Structure 1
Amino acid sequence: MNKIKKLLIIGFVWPEPNSSAAGGRMMQLISIFKENGFEITFASPALDSDFMVDLTAFGVEKKAIELNNSSFDVFIKELNPDVVLFDRFMIEEQFGWRVSENCPKAIRILDTEDLHSLRTARQKAFRENRTFGPFDLFSEEVAKREIASILRCDLSLIISQFEMKILNGIFKIDSRLLFYLPFLVDEMKEEDLLDLPLFEDRENFVFIGNFLHEPNWNTVQYLKEAIWPLIRKQFPEAILKVYGAYPSQKALQLHQSRDGFLIMGRAADAAEIVKKAKVVLAPIRFGAGLKGKLLEAMQCGTPSVTSEIGAEAMHADLPWNGCITNDMEFFAKQAIALYQDENLWKQSQKNGVTIINHCYQKRAFSSALVDIISALLVDSENHRLHNFMGSLLQHHTLKSTKYMSKWIEAKNKN
């Protein structure tokens, strides 16, 4: 790309890489576009937070925007971006029609983060005490909205191979509209493990997860009520430290020093905490996407015990860096084994390095993404001709959403 291209990212929230995996992923995307010469503007209708990243320090212009306000039309016309990246389908619903109307030639990309409809359907099945099946998605209203958003965009970034299979197989989405993009990290060597704290220098079990994310909060409750008592029964001196941004009062009330179950709140530096821990526990019972906490554990040389949902699409069937099980008793047994058996612990570390290098190489995925965006910039018209359903949805959405938004804007003025 010789000519400098403009990228507008419209964020659901301002990025908080120290609070959530979603914030970390957004910074990875910004890094890819910066490295390939894009001028980036990050706009969001969200309020500023105390923990948001300083975008200007990364050479990114920050712009506050409003929902249901025609001031956005003036802003985007002046900016005239070549590419617009929507952070989650809800943002595409709000601003996609305005982008289409004011900058029709701009390439529209959706970063799904994870399939919200998959997470919602699994959560519903869990609460109703039944087995989830992919066709459950057909009854979810959020699935209809999410799939419509994917179809309206020129390209959607999908973080999980399992979700790629659902979109291709269940919803029959054209592969040309999808791009598999997992978390992206640099290559790691086994020798790098020597620079991390040793087995004998580490202590405690740890869990890290943003408390605003329902699967994380459910996991903490599950640990407290079911799994931690099993571990403490066999290993009375064990301590579990639970970290996470935005803990509720309910979460804080789970803190019990006498049981070794400690609610620590926000982690100032999650990686430093995980490096000092001996084992990560993550018995996740529902959710979607990839689990940033488990990839971070691998990077920190910290083995983990997780569920099938936790490890889903994360390891390409390579040996896990610890253990994968849905059985509570076995979960507790393996957690203790990893904590006490140095040889098992070290082999699990090495398994993590293998997974990182096989599944998450930034260099390979980022160059492929830039290539496909370059091709779209050259020939978006032909690409869109092959996406009639997207054009149809764009047409009707623009009509219906446009007038609803204008009605809300007029109502707000009155």
Structure 2
Amino acid sequence: MNQLKKLLIIGFVWPEPKSSAAGGRMMQLISIFKENGYEITFVSAAQDSDFMVDLSEFGVIKKSIELNSSSFDDFIKELNPDVVLFDRFMIEEQFGWRVVENCPKAIRILDTEDLHCLRTARQKAFKKNRTFELIDLLSEEVAKREIASILRCDLSLIISEFEMKILKEVFKINQDLLFYLPFLVDEMKEEDLLNLPFFENRNDFVFIGNFLHEPNWNTVQYLKEAIWPSIKKDFPEAVLKVYGAYPSQKALQLHQPKNGFYIMGRAEEANEIVKNARVVLAPIRFGAGLKGKLLEAMQCGTPSVTTSVGSEAMHEDLTWNGFIEDNPDEFAKKAIALYQDENLWKEAQKKGIAIINKCYQKNNYSNQLISLVNSLLINSESHRLHNFMGNLLQHHAYKSTMYMSKWIEAKNKN
């Protein structure tokens, strides 16, 4: 009888699928490995939260760990995982050298979530009121850390085809170290729309996004200051409801019911809210990765209006399920048209289904991922031998990270 393979996931935070797309992505990864017979242990140094998922319900073992502590070394030696998945590059920096030192044969996978260097460089360009260019990435400090982490790992999961292109063309990363893995959902049929609320039974514009995520907070500010006044001018009855986990006091101060602008706070059931809204507004001005909120809108049969950054790498060559518009006045006009024109709205719904079925089918990616991981388990020595830059970085960078961590640990004991 074959022994179960062991997967250790080291989380940046405990998964909160109802709070962020990152939490949903992590649960998709857990599902893929679980379905393929892996025994999964999820550990994190983060504090428990009221909104984290109960991992035991998914057959996952949960354990808290400490930063800069040799207790992790004892733990991982005993567990002896076949595969270790790092949740974001900061976690690989913190624990990667310990994994190498104590379980050198374990396959190391990095889930980037999105390219942090892309998000950071875009945000800086935006704040300086200039156009972002790919060359900006080469001088970005976080890029040096993130790319080093990608090179040190056996495989990195990349959520966006645009980010795959950046990694290969700008940073010259070998394709063998990368695997494109978008959000994964079930197939939809047009008749599924009959099970969703109809046009006449839906009300309001809606935006959903975790307020701790800077691109979301900026989007809410942009809606309030530049777009909502134009919508209200031409459509006085319009209502926008803004939902998001962890709203700040600044965000709550934007609540203005007299103006049809509502800050609603955390959405207990985001899916139900989006299903009953008529149009999703997402004028995102900077960021990276894929936008989970826009894919969720498609699944809910809810058309959306977004920007070129919001729609980036999300729909291949297919027409968007609504409109893509970067000019705020045009954005407002398109939003009103989509809200008021039932035929336009229904056509947009169907376009969303086409995008889901072409770009996000679980079966198209999950089997490939498991096959690749299984191949790495068999051929890890050869794979690593050909990753010279990764070996070089591991030799030097891990030494500095290791000694810094050991210094912090010794300091904490005194």
Fold shared per TM-score above 0.5: yes
Counterpart of 1:264? 264
The alpha-carbon deviation at position 317 of structure 1 amounts to 2.0
The alpha-carbon deviation at position 364 of structure 1 amounts to 1.2
Counterpart of 2:310? 310
Counterpart of 2:372? 372
Structure 1 Cα separation of the partners of residues 303 and 188 of structure 2: 15
Counterpart of 2:356? 356
Unaligned runs of 5+ in 1: none
The alpha-carbon deviation at position 329 of structure 1 amounts to 1.1
The alpha-carbon deviation at position 2 of structure 1 amounts to 4.5
Structure 2 Cα separation of the partners of residues 25 and 3 of structure 1: 27
Instruction: Kindly report which structure 2 residues correspond to 1:1-400, keeping only aligned pairs within 5 A, or say none.
Output: 2-400=2-400
* Counterpart residue type for residue 13 of structure 2: V
Structure 1 Cα separation of the partners of residues 311 and 178 of structure 2: 22
Structure 1 Cα separation of the partners of residues 28 and 269 of structure 2: 18
The alpha-carbon deviation at position 304 of structure 1 amounts to 0.1
The alpha-carbon deviation at position 41 of structure 1 amounts to 0.2
* Counterpart residue type for residue 357 of structure 1: N
Deviations 1:50-93 (A, max 9, x none): 00000011000001001100000000000000000000000000
The alpha-carbon deviation at position 397 of structure 1 amounts to 1.9
* Counterpart residue type for residue 408 of structure 1: I
Structure 2 Cα separation of the partners of residues 364 and 218 of structure 1: 34
Deviations 1:177-224 (A, max 9, x none): 000000000100011011000000000000000000000000000000
Higher deviation after alignment, 1-10 or 211-220: 1-10
Structure 2 Cα separation of the partners of residues 23 and 12 of structure 1: 11
Structure 2 Cα separation of the partners of residues 274 and 400 of structure 1: 47
Structure 1 Cα separation of the partners of residues 148 and 199 of structure 2: 49
Identity of aligned residues (%): 80
Q: Aligned with 2:4: secondary structure?
A: coil
The alpha-carbon deviation at position 319 of structure 1 amounts to 0.5
Deviations 1:78-127 (A, max 9, x none): 00000000000000000000000000000000000000000000000000
Output the TM-score relative to the length of structure 2: 0.99
Output the TM-score relative to the length of structure 1: 0.99
Structure 2 Cα separation of the partners of residues 135 and 144 of structure 1: 14
Deviations 1:264-296 (A, max 9, x none): 000000000000000000000000000000000
Structure 1 Cα separation of the partners of residues 102 and 180 of structure 2: 29
Q: Which runs of 4+ in 1 moved over 2 A?
A: none
Deviations 1:376-401 (A, max 9, x none): 01110000011000011111122111
Q: Aligned with 1:379: secondary structure?
A: helix
Aligned length: 414
CA RMSD after TM alignment: 0.7
The alpha-carbon deviation at position 3 of structure 1 amounts to 3.5
Structure 2 Cα separation of the partners of residues 4 and 175 of structure 1: 29
